Amino acid sequence: MLGSTQPKRHSFSDSCNRKLIKIIFFFDFFRRMEDKRRSGGWCGWLLVLIVFGAIGFAIFITLTQKMYESDPDAAPVPGHPGTITKKYAEALGIAMQFFDVQKSGKLENNKIPWRGDSGLQDGSEAKLDLSKGIYDAGDHVKFGFPMAFTATVLSWTILEYGDQMKAVNQLEPAQDSLKWITDYLVNAHPFDDVLYIQVGNPKIDHRCWDRPENMTKERPLTQVNTSAPGTEVAAETAAALASASLVFKNIDSSYSSLLLMHAKQLFTFADRYRESYSISIPNVQKFYNSTGYGDELLWAASWLYHATGERFYFEYVTGKNGEDFADWGSITWFSWDNKLAGAQVLLSRVNFFGSEDISHSKILLKYRKSAEAVMCNLLPDSPTATEQKTDKGLIWITEWNALQHPVASAFLAMLYSDYMLTSRTTKIYCSGSYFTPLDLRKFAISQVEYVLGNNPMNMSYLVGYGDNYPQYVHHRGASIPANATTGCKDGFKWLDSAEPNPNVAIGALVGGPFINDSYIDSRNNSKQGEPSTYNSAVIVGLLSGLVTTSSVVLSFT
């Protein structure tokens, strides 16, 4: 628990002596049992086998626990939250605040002194209240696709690591931020087959450099419907609301039921009217273009299965749709656009912990094997390890928002590590080599350590953490003094200013380094310097899993 003392550390020789005593005791005990066996016939043999197995398992667990206790970077053993890792607790508290920085609407208990109410009339042209929700990055458009992904990952984090978040006083802020998003998503779904997916026009919005509190530009609405479907955005919103229904199930049952009702309706809409929103609405291609909707359908159905336990959703992912969209054994990168690796890990959870009639499904095993292929791709010593990384070991896929993929990958690796520990699964195999839960956790730690400053720039990419972090974050509200009076156009002087941002975008995870581990701290460098809320979701997830040690829960329900 928070403030508890560190466990007593022992020297290597002390540890060896204790292990040697246990081994000597074990073999002495076995010798005495062998004497009994010789005089006891087959009953003696049976007794020896039972005792041998029980003692062997006990010693394995004991030594495993001792190994983890002696290594501060080791993976956890199942149990209640353990000793807090202070640096990760501090980083988590900072990362959580970016959701407050990005909130739209009438702010409640506002903790960001330079933020105020904004977007209060959003949705009014359709007689809807779309004032809540969050701005996705440094501008003021509400993009429903990445916003829903942010909510899904935040829900997943709370469901898996809520006890650990509570131990460092971050559970309630996470629940509040989640509800701020889900309130918006519910209101954005006024009819079964209509979902509003965007507030604001990016082209209009990007002509201005202003604070959200002072916006005067038009805020048009964009929707998907039966005439212009958007399978991936409707399915992702279904996933967000289904996962959130589990978060609020024991907090507010009526709200949880409302979320689940909308999730089911949206999934039916997404599945019945199959079309990519990038095709139905070509204007979205420049900003959050989708590369396909099959992954979102599997992802949403997986969450609905967890939320409802209904056989329909299980058969959806293990039947023809699984064959069509699962792409068994493929290596993909978890992101706002591609949920396949996330779905594979989430369905592996069912294989690890589901009821016997469900968990033994051959198709579930395919999902788990596919998830393990993703893990093998991440582990640096694996024969199949990716070469897509910087010299200092950061996974690196794209120069735009480079940190999204390594942090999201580390989040999945940590989850899978904890699934293995909780289920007493000791290893995974990667082309003949085997790796342990500890190996996966060490990979996750390597990525977060890079983010927090263990990199060639000696810079924390989490704004507000440490002594050296980006000062010129590409973020309008942070770049303009709170008391400044600016319109749409004259605010650009703050974009071009040589001075650091007057306001700290606390908790922002910026885009990150180039392939050569370099970073240019310039407000005009949006490739590297623009933060996003979906980056925040995955770093909050990763830090929540690392902040202390405990097992995941066996069931969300």
The DSSP-derived string for 436-489 is -HHHHHHHHHHHHHHHTT-STT---SBTTSSS---SS-S-HHHHS-TT----SS
Q: Which pLDDT score is estimated for 485?
A: 82
Q: Which pLDDT score is estimated for 23?
A: 40
Edge-first strand listing for the sheet containing 221-224: 142-143, 195-199, 221-224
Which residue, among 484, 517, 376, 488, has the nearest Cα to 435 in the 3D structure?
Answer: 376
Residue spans of the domains in the chain: they are: 14-70, 86-466+527-546
Which residue type occupies 82?
G
Find out whether 192 and 457 touch, Cβ atoms under 8 Å: no
CA dist., res. 365 & res. 371, Å (int): 10
Helix, coil or strand: residue 442: helix
Find out whether 414 and 546 touch, Cβ atoms under 8 Å: yes
Lookup: tokens for 68: 């983890």
Which residue, among 412, 452, 392, 357, has the nearest Cα to 542 in the 3D structure?
Answer: 412
Q: Which pLDDT score is estimated for 552?
A: 77
Q: Which pLDDT score is estimated for 551?
A: 67
> In terms of pTM, does the model score above 0.85?
yes
Q: Which pLDDT score is estimated for 360?
A: 78
Lookup: tokens for 531: 């933060």
Q: Which of the residues in the chain have pLDDT under 70?
A: 1-80, 551
What number does CATH give the domain 86-466+527-546? 1.50.10.10
Q: Which pLDDT score is estimated for 503?
A: 98
Q: What are the two backbone dihedrals, phi and then psi, of residue 164, each rounded to the nearest 5 degrees?
A: -75, -35
CA dist., res. 413 & res. 437, Å (int): 9
CA dist., res. 522 & res. 519, Å (int): 9
Q: Which pLDDT score is estimated for 79?
A: 59
Task: Tell me which residues are annotated as active site.
Answer: 474
